[in-house]
Chain A
Amino acid sequence: MLDTDAAIILIDRLLKDVGTRQDAGRLAFAEVQIDSSSQATSRFANSHMTQNQAQDATTVSLHLAGRESECRLSTQDISTGGLARLVDDAYAALMLLPAAKDPPAETAEPSDLIDSGQILDESRYDPACAALDASERGKAIKRMIQKADGNDQPEAIQLAGILANGQRLVAFGNSRGVRRVYRETFIESSLTGVIRNCDGSNATGWAKGHQTSMRDLDLDALTDRALAITARARNPREIAPGKYRVLLEAEAVLDLLGFIWWDFAATSHLDRLSPLAGKIGEQIFGSNVSLRDDVFHPLQSGPRFDGSGYDRKTVDLVKDGVLTGLVTGSRSSRRLSALSPDIQLTGHGLPEPSAMGEIPANPVFLPSDPRSMTIAIDDSVPTIVLNRVWYVREVDPSRKLLTGMTRDGIFMGGQEPLKNMRFNISLMDMLQSKSIVAMGPARRAAGEETFPAIVPSMIVDDFNFTETTKF
């Protein structure tokens, strides 16, 4: 993968080439984005390694904006010839395009940026994480498998999962002189324990962690958690579907909330695809719900600039249940500011041109009172604990009605294993004060439906299970 110097040299060279072409005078600006990554994933199942992969890839994309049209071309051929072709093809495409009704997005100027002199951000780069190699991953997996083998249960537990690590570089440069580079590392492990039930079927338990630094992911603790959930999940019983009080572990909360993140993007409001459209300043959730997009949060990850090079700002999305803000990119902020002068550019744009616009990439749920969780668990109302939700999909966008399944650990009262169930719930209802009984402290959670975010575990009432399944 590319290092910082190589990325900057490549950006400079590409923009210089763009600027010396015959049609350069017809450009409003040009942008280059580089995404370079190196990652390795060791996969195992049935207590042996099934795949062991190492991938290295760099993509360079060039955004040419004329005064009335724009296009983006990308390539993984970063040879001199490949990059020259990229410029050739981008100009050729741009010259063919008719004038757009919506003029091109803007790009960052050095004067727009708080730290205009700061090019490199590697505050989330852990050299130990980047250096973890195949043999070390193999040893770590062997230790996990040995833990499973040594588990003191009436039935053996087989372990499956992944241990992955890697690094990523995101670099941005434009013809206005902005240069920004972000490097981060990651380590991830997702573990599933499998145990045989008395009837010959299997029960499973799961735990997952994703961090930017080795020291923040305790593989032993993660393995212990997966094994403990698996052991507890053995011999589940079926209960009747219906509305129950549930404790959603943070990973389950995340995989539900992931379906509402884009509703805080200005483009979803402009396109009238969100039920929150036109409700800024209104009470949309319970007063115990506050959400923020905050790339600077110590548990967050990702670059502090957006696809157009602008600084990513911290945005209060929901405060005490009131919709207080939206994230914007340069295009949506321009369109929305024509309607409401309070709308500002927040630096959340995706690389332009983009039909989707922007995304709050760093959500942080601010629990109102983490102590309430302890109080609620002592309550006399039976509570079902959900370890993981699965295959969540939006059924009705106007109500944020979601369906999905439970998986890998569902327990009555936290102890008695249950067979899995299908749920249909409205996020708009679930996030009301009358539904939320309690919240735990927010932590970095990693699920399967969306990117990691900072969310709490949560106890909610009237969680609607509509059907059962056979395991």
Chain B
Amino acid sequence: MFDLLEIALGRAQDLKADFCDLRLVDETSEMLRYKNRSLAELSRETSIGIGIRVLHDGGWGFSATQSLAPSDIVAAVDTALALAKASSATFTAARQGYRLAPEPAWQERWLGPCQKDPFSIQIEDKLALLQVCADEMAAVPGITLSQGFLHFIRTDKYFASTEGARIHQTMYRTGCLIEATASDDQDIQRRSYPCSFGQYESAGYEMVEHWAMQDHARRIATEAVELLTADRCPEGYFDTILGGSQLGLQIHESMGHPSELDRALGEEINFAGASFLKPELINNLRYGSPLVHLVADATATGALGSFGYDDEGVQAQRIDLVKDGIFKGYLSSRDTASILGLERSGGCMRAQNWCFQPIIRMTNISLEPGKTPCSLDELISDTGSGLYLETNRSWSIDSMRYNFQFSTEYAREIKNGKLGRLLKNPSYSGITTDFWQSMDALCDRESWVQWGTPNCGKGQPMQVMWTGHGAAPARFRRLKIGAANA
């Protein structure tokens, strides 16, 4: 494959482009979806193509082609250069063009973790698992819809640049979900496992076995039916424990996105929005309580947002975003790092596939677990009275990432240090920094999970990206509950 990329690089050098990098992405995916005890979908997709990025006179150009014919690749380089020239024409002396922060020209082969190749597992075995789950859910009276899926992706990515980088990465991503819905004339309630929209990891079929969906199918179905007749979650201010997967999405929205440097610089303001985290706040903003330690860790084994090298050839890194509750830094790229005067990119540039230009994306944005031993039961016991909320149902946050509102599938009252009544339609809301400053306890590494979010949207045209979020259940004092129903 590198031979094809050399053709493109040669063309870029012949045309005297200042810089050119290329990604040839070869991807195969398989989706098996069950609905009401029957296979609803078996789809397989293959995708291959080259994304070509050129920087010339400070302007970016990007072209993508799925044709691997040398003449088409050369034409795509020409297009990218023409686009770069058109971009550079919008810069003036007062508005300087882009430059790249330095990065070694890596020449590496990187293999992501995969113990059991999901494409080598017999389709009968995959269907049998989904069938068992479907039967378990359907066995619960009151269930009106049961669904589940298995999703597998294998990606081979070849990267080369005029700086000399040559990187070949192979990675597997695997996702699984079951969900049970109960509805009557008044209400619709759903429970999901392992988390809403599916748990995804950088792993093979072993992750499906780890989550043992068949052992949880009957429980979530029972809970969905029970929610129909449960009491409504009360409104007010409550000490609240958020379950790990819900907290993962909270991290995603209220720490991951605002720490994207392109947003902070105003480059995504038209669609994805901007950020309240201005550069002058680095080391100067109390973002959370001293317990809050948030990292961007692209090196975490098995986490969904992990890789060896990002899509502009920068080596994966682990970076502090918030340490001891203080805002420390951004997710960055080579060009935005240069604007901020950073020594090096944070290695966060990724594209959905060959067809898209890389942009700054979250890697694995995780809340480090508590250092003091603490299980969920111990945290509930320590809380006395309050609420426990888990599994996301909806999420929304403003375009600067201050005000948020989330709702979850499931809540339990905490009374006398124990879980009590089941409560339905819980929601909570707040302002990002107030929320994180109210965190006063969290569980330890035993309860910490690398949750995967497979559907993060950003960019124009919209790109969907894989991100990871390590989190353990944590407690927030006097959280505002129930604004959705006010």
A residues with CB within 8 A of B: 39-59, 69-78, 82, 85-86, 89, 93, 96-98, 100-102, 134-135, 137-138, 141-142, 145, 158, 160-162, 164, 190-192, 194, 202, 204, 206, 271-273, 275, 277-278, 353-355, 390-398, 401, 403-405, 407-408, 420, 422, 424, 448, 464, 466-471
> Which chain B residues lie closer than 8 Å to A56 at the CB level?
64-66
In this assembly, does B13 line the interface, its C-beta being within 8 Å of a C-beta of chain A?
Answer: no
Q: Are A160 and B86 interface neighbours, CB within 8 A?
A: no
In this assembly, does B267 line the interface, its C-beta being within 8 Å of a C-beta of chain A?
Answer: yes
Q: A101 to B40: give the CA distance in the assembly, Å.
A: 10
Query: How many residues of chain B get a CB closer than 8 Å to chain A's CBs?
Result: 86
Which 9 pairs show the lowest CB-CB distances between chains A and B? A469-B403, A49-B87, A52-B83, A138-B86, A71-B42, A393-B394, A101-B38, A49-B90, A192-B270
Name the contact of B89 in the complex, choosing from A101, A138, A407, A448 (C-beta under 8 A): A138
Q: A408 to B399: give the CA distance in the assembly, Å.
A: 9
Which of A89, A135, A393 lies at the interface centre, i.e. has the most chain B CB atoms within 10 A of its CB? A393
Q: Are B42 and A97 interface neighbours, CB within 8 A?
A: yes
Q: Taking A55-B356, A76-B47, A142-B89 as contacts, is the C-beta distance between A45 and B398 under 8 angstroms?
A: no
User: Chain B nearest CB: distance from A469 CB in Å?
Assistant: 4
> Which chain B residues lie closer than 8 Å to A78 at the CB level?
66
Q: Taking A41-B460, A53-B357 as contacts, is the C-beta distance between A355 and B398 under 8 angstroms?
A: no
Q: A55-B356, A101-B38 known; 10 other A-B pairs, CB under 8 Å? A: A39-B461, A48-B90, A53-B64, A71-B42, A96-B123, A97-B127, A101-B37, A134-B86, A138-B90, A161-B270
> Which chain A residues lie closer than 8 Å to B273 at the CB level?
390, 407
User: Chain A nearest CB: distance from B278 CB in Å?
Assistant: 10
Q: A137 to B90: give the CA distance in the assembly, Å.
A: 11
Give residues of chain B (48-78) contacting chain A, Cβ–Cβ below 8 Å. Answer: 48-49, 59-66
Which of B145, B147, B357 lies at the interface centre, i.e. has the most chain A CB atoms within 10 A of its CB? B357
Q: Are A355 and B86 interface neighbours, CB within 8 A?
A: no
Which A-chain residue is minimally distant from B26 (CB atoms)? A77
Q: Are B267 and A45 interface neighbours, CB within 8 A?
A: yes
> Which chain A residues lie closer than 8 Å to B271 at the CB level?
162, 190, 448
Q: A43 to B98: give the CA distance in the assembly, Å.
A: 14
Q: Are A271 and B145 interface neighbours, CB within 8 A?
A: yes
Name the contact of A397 in the complex, choosing from B39, B82, B188, B266 (C-beta under 8 A): B188
Number of cross-chain contacts by CB at 8 Å:
272
Q: A383 to B91: give the CA distance in the assembly, Å.
A: 42
User: Chain A nearest CB: distance from B227 CB in Å?
Assistant: 11
In this assembly, does B41 line the interface, its C-beta being within 8 Å of a C-beta of chain A?
Answer: yes
Which A-chain residue is minimally distant from B40 (CB atoms)? A355
In this assembly, does B265 line the interface, its C-beta being within 8 Å of a C-beta of chain A?
Answer: yes
20 contacts between A and B (CB under 8 A): A42-B87, A45-B270, A48-B87, A49-B60, A51-B87, A55-B355, A135-B86, A138-B90, A190-B271, A272-B144, A353-B41, A391-B398, A391-B399, A395-B393, A395-B394, A398-B188, A407-B273, A470-B400, A470-B431, A471-B402
Q: A70 to B79: give the CA distance in the assembly, Å.
A: 41
Give residues of chain B (356-395) contacting chain A, Cβ–Cβ below 8 Å. Answer: 356-357, 359, 393-395
Give residues of chain B (406-459) contacting chain A, Cβ–Cβ below 8 Å. Answer: 407, 425, 427, 429, 431
Q: Are B89 and A272 interface neighbours, CB within 8 A?
A: no
Q: Are A405 and B270 interface neighbours, CB within 8 A?
A: no
> Which chain B residues lie closer than 8 Å to A86 at the CB level?
46
Which B-chain residue is minimally distant from A134 (CB atoms)? B86
Q: A70 to B47: give the CA distance in the assembly, Å.
A: 22
Which of B80, B88, B355, B431 lies at the interface centre, i.e. has the most chain A CB atoms within 10 A of its CB? B355
Name the contact of A57 in the complex, choosing from B49, B186, B187, B276 (C-beta under 8 A): B49
In this assembly, does B397 line the interface, its C-beta being within 8 Å of a C-beta of chain A?
Answer: yes
> Which chain A residues lie closer than 8 Å to B405 at the CB level?
395, 403, 422, 424, 467
Q: A403 to B145: give the CA distance in the assembly, Å.
A: 25
> Which chain A residues lie closer than 8 Å to B15 at the CB level?
none
User: Chain B nearest CB: distance from A83 CB in Å?
Assistant: 11
In this assembly, does B199 line the interface, its C-beta being within 8 Å of a C-beta of chain A?
Answer: no
In this assembly, does B43 line the interface, its C-beta being within 8 Å of a C-beta of chain A?
Answer: yes
Q: Are A424 and B48 interface neighbours, CB within 8 A?
A: no
In this assembly, does B242 line the interface, its C-beta being within 8 Å of a C-beta of chain A?
Answer: no
Q: Taking A44-B90, A355-B33 as contacts, is the C-beta distance between A390 and B64 under 8 angstroms?
A: no
Q: A398 to B228: give the CA distance in the assembly, Å.
A: 11
> Which chain B residues lie closer than 8 Å to A404 at the CB level?
396
